Chain A
Amino acid sequence: AQSVTQLDSQVPVFEEAPVELRCNYSSSVSVYLFWYVQYPNQGLQLLLKYLSGSTLVESINGFEAEFNKSQTSFHLRKPSVHISDTAEYFCAVSDQGAQKLVFGQGTRLTINP
């Protein structure tokens, strides 16, 4: 069965510092990869996704993630974070042919001024 590992449960960073949230998934022939974000007191929202094509995908608010097949990773990065990025971030995977999302445990990103 597919599984997702988010290595860090919490990541504290200072405002304007870079951040990387790590995500690894168990190997499969074809996978689709997602990052979801849950802001305080809000529901889950899709941040970005990799389905095919370019291995580097970007969100509208400056986050990017790179699909690395050899390392089975899909780490999320942002070069300079803002207070408004404070949230919990979930990495998820879907197998080709399977419609469900398998989520990691989540990483809580806290931004200190």
Chain B
Amino acid sequence: GAGVSQSPSNKVTEKGKDVELRCDPISGHTALYWYRQSLGQGLEFLIYFQGNSAPDKSGLPSDRFSAERTGGSVSTLTIQRTQQEDSAVYLCASSLLASPYNEQFFGPGTRLTVL
């Protein structure tokens, strides 16, 4: 079956612009996670959704970052007024339920470059 998909695969933007990153989870997975992988910080948790609600937003680095999930499926991560330090690979993962007993399946990521 289809895995987690993310779009775009690459995004180059200018400092100060807004960007939207999209994640399509595996069908039937109720939990969805966003992580960021950067050279200086490694892999960091950003936010997770159970259904359409986000019980844990603790990893969002600033109020320029937001995410939503509609219909319990697709999620969008929005970064406003991008900064060079936002450059990273943004990873999305989904699992059947939000539980350590359910494996998180990762997408290929979106590589964001802020010039």
Q: Which residues of A are interface residues toward B (Cβ below 8 A)?
A: 32, 36, 42-46, 49, 51, 90, 92, 94, 96, 98-106
Contact = CB atoms under 8 A, between A and B. Distances in A.
B31 A99 contact: yes
B21 to A, nearest CB: 15
Interface of B: 31, 33, 35, 42-45, 48, 50, 55-56, 58-59, 91, 93, 98-101, 103-104, 106-109
Nearest to B33: A100
Given A44-B93, A96-B100, A99-B55, 17 more contacts: A42-B108, A43-B91, A43-B108, A44-B91, A45-B106, A51-B100, A99-B98, A99-B99, A99-B100, A100-B58, A101-B45, A102-B45, A103-B42, A103-B43, A103-B44, A105-B42, A106-B42
Contacts of B59: 100
Contacts, number: 51
Contacts of B45: 100-102
A90 B100 contact: no
Nearest to B41: A105
27 contacts: A36-B106, A42-B108, A43-B91, A43-B106, A43-B107, A43-B108, A43-B109, A45-B106, A46-B103, A46-B104, A49-B100, A49-B103, A51-B101, A96-B100, A99-B48, A99-B50, A99-B98, A99-B100, A100-B59, A101-B33, A102-B45, A103-B35, A103-B42, A103-B43, A104-B42, A106-B42, A106-B43
